[in-house]
Amino acid sequence: MAALRVILIVVAVAYLGVLAFMYLQQRSLQYFPSRAATPPEALGLSGVSEQRVQTPDGETLVLWRAEARPGMPTILFFHGNGGALPDRAERMAFYQAQGFGALFLSYRGYGASTGSVSEQGFITDALTAYDVLVKDGIPPRKIAVVGESLGTGVAVQLAAQKPVGAVALEAPFTAAVDVAAGIYWYLPVRWLMKDQYLSRDHIANVRVPLLIQHGDADRVIPVDQGRKLYDMANEPKELVILPGRGHDVIGSPDVWAREVQFFRRHIGL
C-alpha cells in the first residue's frame, strides 16, 4: 500500500506539473509567428503598399494594401497562426489579378507589428484594420472578409460586430478550444485555455453570405468542425468539402478562386 501511495503521489505531482507547464506555455503552443518583415515589392508584388497604423491600445500594425478596380470588392484577410505576411504574397497577387482590392493584416506579434499575441489583441487589430477601409471610403457592403485556419476565429468575430458584404472561411473551427480539447483530451483544456476563439458563440450574429471550405482529410482542424459551424450559421451559406484534401487547402489557388466567384455573385459589380 505504501508503494502504491508513493506512485499515486508521483503521478499526481507529475500531472500537476504538466498542467502548470501547459498553462504557462500555452500561447507558444498555439501561435507560431514569424518576424519576417520583407516588403511586398521585394517579393515581386506591384501595386501593394505597406502601411502602419496605431491600435487603440497603442500597438503599431503593418498592413499590406492593394486597391480594387472600380466597383470591385476589397478583401480583408486574416491569416492563420503560423508565418507572416510574406508567406501570403501569392494570395495577394491572386486577388490583384482578379481585380479585387485587398488589405492583409499582420497581427500584433507577427512580422514587424509590435505587441504580444492574444485573442483580444487580434480582435482589436481586426477592428483597427476594418476601420482603415471604412475611413478610406470603402462601403461596408464592398468588404469581403476572408479567414484561414485560426484567422477564421478572427473573421467570424469581426463580421459579427461590423457590417460587411460577405465572409469566406477556410478550414474553420467551432472554437479553437474545441480543437485543443480533442488533442489534449487528458487535460482540462476548457478551464486552462486563455484564447478560445468561440466562433460557435458568434456565428449567429453573422448575417451575410457565408462560404465555408474544408478538406475532409484535415488533420489540424477536423472537417467536422467546419460542418458543425456551417450548421450553426445563417442563410445564405455554402459548404464545400474537398475530398482527400488536408489543411493545406488554405494555400490553394482553387480555394481562393472559389471565394472570388462567391464574392462576385454576392457583392461584385
Question: What average pLDDT does this structure show over 2-21?
Answer: 76
- CA-based R_g, the chain, Å: 20
Which of 15-24, 63-72, 98-107, 221-230 bottoms out in mean pLDDT, i.e. has the lowest? 15-24
Q: In this predicted model, what pLDDT tens digit does every residue of 41-67 receive, in sequence order?
A: 999 999 999 999 999 999 999 999 999
How many Å apart are CA 125 and CA 142, to the nearest integer?
20
How many Å apart are CA 129 and CA 81, to the nearest integer?
18
The whole-chain average pLDDT of the chain stands at 95
Q: Which CATH superfamily is domain 31-267 in?
A: Alpha/Beta hydrolase fold, catalytic domain (3.40.50.1820)
- pLDDT at 7 exceeding the cut of 80: no
> How confident is the model at residue 33, as a pLDDT?
95
> How confident is the model at residue 268, as a pLDDT?
72
Q: Helices 150-161 and 119-135, interaxial angle, to 10°?
A: 50
Interior angle at CA 34, CA 29 and CA 35, nearest 5? 130
Do 119 and 196 form a contact (C-beta atoms < 8 A)? yes
Local structure of residue 18 (DSSP, 8 states): H
* Cα torsion through 94, 245, 34, 88, rounded to 10: 0
Q: In this predicted model, what pLDDT tens digit does every residue of 130-157 receive, in sequence order?
A: 999 999 999 999 999 999 999 999 999 9
3-state DSSP call for residue 46? Answer: coil
For residue 212, the one-letter residue type is I
Q: In this predicted model, what pLDDT tens digit does every residue of 91-135 receive, in sequence order?
A: 999 999 999 999 999 999 999 999 999 999 999 999 999 999 999
- What's the pTM value of the predicted model, to 2 decimals? 0.95
Do 156 and 202 form a contact (C-beta atoms < 8 A)? yes
> How confident is the model at residue 125, as a pLDDT?
98
How does residue 21 score in pLDDT terms, banded at 50, 70 and 90? confident
> How confident is the model at residue 13, as a pLDDT?
76
Domain ranges (residues) in the chain: 31-267
Cβ contacts of 237 within 8 Å, gap of 6 or more: 209, 210, 211, 212, 230
> How confident is the model at residue 269, as a pLDDT?
64
Do 27 and 117 form a contact (C-beta atoms < 8 A)? yes
How many Å apart are CA 27 and CA 10, to the nearest integer?
27
Cβ contacts of 58 within 8 Å, gap of 6 or more: none
Q: In this predicted model, what pLDDT tens digit does every residue of 190-224 receive, in sequence order?
A: 999 999 999 999 999 999 999 999 999 999 999 99
Do 113 and 180 form a contact (C-beta atoms < 8 A)? no
Q: In this predicted model, what pLDDT tens digit does every residue of 175-190 receive, in sequence order?
A: 999 999 999 999 999 9
Q: Which residues of 158-191 are buried (b: 16+ CB within 10 A; e: fewer)?
A: bbbebebbbbbbbbbbbbbbbbbbeebeebebee
